[in-house]
Chain A
């Protein structure tokens, strides 16, 4: 299973853009990159998924370079309610649908 590395924590302020970069050097050809958000006492919530280049939805953008060895989750104009742990995962390839969670990035949005 591909291992991911992401910063342990990040601080930001309301209205700023937050970018979280995840390294996944041994990503397999068939693996997708998926990001989840988790609030305390809740299950992880799907944010976005991509394979290559750029993916955008109503809450975030995901940038994936050509070599796919890293990816960056971009959260535009964060608010206090975006304070959470964000997990980067790769999977769906050789490991099938199993997901391996790394440590996640704890994002604190300050007023």
Chain B
């Protein structure tokens, strides 16, 4: 199974700033995804990170707010831009091999 790491594991940020979350997979994978999980809630898919092309966003999520990069088959970043307290959440990346494996998540608190 793929081993996925995320940086940072947690952060506390001021409103109006941006944070970039890194996701590293220990093997090349075809597909990577970004999810958000608000406190006590289930996971919501933000976007599919496409290697070599623009990410595919789900309804309610836009590139200006959540720009995503996928420079190669093992790495992706998610930026949370112009943050507000409503962006406080856990952000998780996942990677698809035969099944989907998840990173440990990044806990973001926006003050």
Q: Is the CB of A46 within 8 A of B48?
A: no
Quick one: which of A71-103 are within 8 Å of B by CB? 87, 97-103
- How many A-B residue contacts, CB cutoff 8 Å? 45
Q: Is the CB of B100 within 8 A of A97?
A: yes
Bound CA–CA A38/B11 (angstroms): 21
Chain B residues with CB under 8 Å of chain A are 1, 4, 31, 33, 35, 42-45, 48, 90, 92, 94, 96, 99-105, 107
Q: Is the CB of B42 within 8 A of A103?
A: yes
Determine chain A's interface SS by DSSP, over half rule: loop
Determine chain B's interface SS by DSSP, over half rule: strand
| A61 close to chain B: CB less than 8 A | no
Bound CA–CA A45/B1 (angstroms): 11
Residue of B nearest to A87 (CB): B42
Minimum CB–CB distance for B101 against chain A, Å: 6
Residue of B nearest to A91 (CB): B100
